[in-house]
Structure 1
Amino acid sequence: MNQEIPGDGTFLVGREVRPGTYRGAGPAEGGSPCYWARLKGATGTDGGTVTNGAGKGQTTVTALDTDKAFQTTGCQTWKRLG
């Protein structure tokens, strides 16, 4: 499993990325806010968002083992802490 999460995509927690705390440096080049979401499901039809956010600065998010997926758009690479 990856210790990093690329800036764009939806990734299965526990399969493609490890549960844990990740830090992103902010938006990718272009200036749009970095968007992230912890998801209850990965199909778009099974429960939706646990929590989400967007910003233009450094962000820290914890993906829990109870999350099904982590979604990120317009962000730099997220790096797992610890």
Structure 2
Amino acid sequence: MPGDGTYLVGGDMKSGTYKTKGPADGSFGCYWERAKDSSGEFTSITANDNLNGSGLVTVRKGETFKSSGCQDWVKVG
């Protein structure tokens, strides 16, 4: 899955655990967030992080997953 984008879990991507190697070349950091909906409201965010190295995230059906400045995400579980 590409490292930049917003995805509906259960529609655009499968639920499960994903891994990234971290920031894309030349990027300051890799930001990801899980949200209970796609409203974009701060209150809809259930978890997020800025990575300077590799990282894992587990997403569930019905959530929205957003990623920016990251290398590709690979499903590992």
For 2:28, the aligned partner's letter is S
Distance 1:44 1:31, change over 3 A: closer
Taking structure 1 as the reference length, the TM-score comes to: 0.85
Q: How many residues align?
A: 77
For 1:20, the aligned partner's letter is G
Runs of 4+ aligned residues of structure 1 deviating over 6 Å after TM superposition are none
**1:59-80 CA-partner distances (Å, limit 9, x unpaired):** 0000022x42100000000000
Provide the aligned C-alpha RMSD in A. Answer: 1.6
For 2:55, the aligned partner's letter is T
For 1:32-47, what aligned pairs fall within 5 Å after superposition?
32-45=28-41, 47=43
For 1:16, the aligned partner's letter is D
For 1:8, the aligned partner's letter is D
User: What is the percentage of aligned positions where both structures have the same residue?
Assistant: 40
- Paired residue for 2:16, among 15, 20, 32? 20
- Alignment correspondent of 2:45: 49
Distance in 1 separating the partners of 2:41 and 2:32: 18
1:56: how far off? 1.0
Unpaired runs of 5+ residues, structure 2, are: none
Q: Is residue 34–residue 56 contact of structure 1 (8 Å, CA) maintained in 2? A: yes
For 2:63, the aligned partner's letter is K
1:45: how far off? 4.3
Distance in 1 separating the partners of 2:44 and 2:34: 9
Unpaired runs of 5+ residues, structure 1, are: none
Taking structure 2 as the reference length, the TM-score comes to: 0.90
